[in-house]
Amino acid sequence: MKVLVVGSGGREHALSWKIGSSPLVDEVFCAPGNGGIAADAICVDIPAEDIASLKKFAKDNAIELTVVGPEAPLVAGIVDAFQAEGLPVFGPVRRGAMLEGSKIFSKELMEKACIPTAACGVFTDAEEARAYARKAPFPTVVKADGLAAGKGVIVTGCADEACTAIDEILVRKAFGSAGASIVVEERLVGEEASFIAICDGEHIVPLASSQDHKPAFDGDEGPNTGGMGACSPAPVLSGDAYGRVLDTILYPLVGALKKQGITYRGVLYAGLMITDRGPYVLEFNARMGDPETQPLLMRLKSDLVPVLYEVAKGGSIKGMELAWENGPSVCVVMASGGYPGPYEKGRVITGLADAGRVEGVKVFHAGTRLQDDRVVTSGGRVLGVTAQAPDLEAAMGRAYRAAGLISFEGAHYRKDIGHKALRRLS
């Protein structure tokens, strides 16, 4: 079959690569793709948000499966548009993607389903929000309701900081209409992990656990980013905790969505805080994590396409299972100088071929493009150097050996991806 992957980041590179390895697949297209995806798929110059053109491309080229990577087109209704034309597409409909598109929708749903999550208040009025933050017996986190390119969450240490954050979003409108309403919630303490699963509206096929590293610098210091690296599995979700997430979070969520009349078919991603009281939900996403997808798909032994296709055509995934390599995987994100702040583009990248020859390594491209016959940077997160090995230390060793072979002006990356997992194992 012919498959179209929508998106242009490291996650979409990993998806294109994995889908292309399926014996069921003849051709993979990626729209718009990037400089590295071009080696694993045919890149099509259509932006991920241009739903009308994507639909036309899928129809004209007899695409049998479209897999949507990022959240923006999901929230904009790409799945509804494809379904209206009878085109098989993997991802939730617009109302389902509200799980990610509106933090208030997601908090209300969690409350209805008794899913463990931080206590919160919802506000449009700054004075009321400030009063809540001042009275709260805990430090708070202030969140814009809508999509704010991963920047709409402000973690605060005291009521004064919370009030500043509230004013930033509700009064100074730092995130525009995405911040017309806010959630002010309890700041939870624990270790973060990601739980990603595929859902057919009723049944769930969970992926292995994973862990992102969001702050820019080693030791979880510095500003928040889209994710500076990830590993799988996440030891903090071993044994009991993994099953608890399914029983106390994901199945109740699917039930609550159904009660709202939403048959949720696509990826359910729970961003979790593992607290003393068990796993709590920080947020839900309606798509796979980036960079978690890169190490996850490196470890995935099974063909992913049958599960995606079944969901896309409205079938059942009951009883389907995914098999994983026992050995862990690690993804180290190499970023442009300045990221997550302003950064320059167009820097020539060298050493990619050598890095790709390190045993167990695949270099996924996130923000690159081809210029003549060179690969140059074109985004904040540039590469996801990903490695799999029989044990975590070896996987980290391989990923860092490969990253050390790559250079571009201004490149920076964290040197401690996987350390938290390693500490927990020892």
- What is the closest distance, in whole angstroms, from the C-beta atom of residue 332 to ligand GLY in the complex? 14
Q: Rounded to the nearest 10 degrees, how much is the dihedral formed by the CA atoms of 211, 212, 217, 219?
A: -20
User: In the range 132-161, which residues lie near ligand AMP by CB under 6 A?
Assistant: 141, 153, 155
* Residue 178 touches which of ligand AMP, ligand GLY, none (Cβ within 5-8 Å per kind): none
- Which of 37, 133, 267, 282: binder of ligand AMP (CB under 6 A)? 282
Integer Cα distance of 68 and 111 in angstroms: 28
* Cα end-to-end distance, the chain, whole Å: 45
Beta carbon nearer to ligand GLY, 212 or 303: 212
The neighbour count for residue 288, using CB atoms within 10 Å, is 27
- What is the closest distance, in whole angstroms, from the C-beta atom of residue 290 to ligand GLY in the complex? 5
* Residue 403 touches which of ligand GLY, ligand AMP, none (Cβ within 5-8 Å per kind): none
Beta carbon nearer to ligand GLY, 22 or 336: 336
Beta carbon nearer to ligand AMP, 282 or 411: 282
Beta carbon nearer to ligand AMP, 34 or 194: 194
The binding site for ligand GLY (CB under 6 A) comprises: 212, 227, 285, 289-290, 292
* Residue 267 touches which of ligand GLY, ligand AMP, none (Cβ within 5-8 Å per kind): none
HSE (CB half, 13 Å, CA atoms) of 11?
A: 19
* Residue 227 touches which of ligand AMP, ligand GLY, none (Cβ within 5-8 Å per kind): ligand GLY
Phi-psi region of 314 (alpha: psi -120 to 50; beta: other; left: phi over 0): left
HSE (CB half, 13 Å, CA atoms) of 148?
A: 23
* Residue 290 touches which of ligand GLY, ligand AMP, none (Cβ within 5-8 Å per kind): ligand GLY
Beta carbon nearer to ligand AMP, 116 or 360: 116
Q: Are 82 and 55 in contact (CB under 8 A)?
A: yes
* Residue 35 touches which of ligand AMP, ligand GLY, none (Cβ within 5-8 Å per kind): none
* Residue 292 touches which of ligand AMP, ligand GLY, none (Cβ within 5-8 Å per kind): ligand GLY
E strands, 152-203, in order: 153-155, 182-186, 191-200
Integer Cα distance of 359 and 363 in angstroms: 12
Segment (H or E) for 27:
strand 27-32
Integer Cα distance of 413 and 355 in angstroms: 15
Total residues interacting with ligand AMP, rule: CB under 6 A: 14
Cα angle 219-223-224, degrees, rounded to a multiple of 5: 90
Integer Cα distance of 157 and 138 in angstroms: 9
E strands, 286-356, in order: 329-335
Beta carbon nearer to ligand GLY, 185 or 290: 290
Binding flag, residue 271, ligand AMP (CB under 6 A): yes
Largest distance between two CA atoms of the chain = 60
- Which of 40, 71, 185, 200: binder of ligand AMP (CB under 6 A)? 185
Binding footprint of ligand AMP on the chain (CB under 6 A): 118, 141, 153, 155, 185-188, 192, 214, 271, 273, 282-283
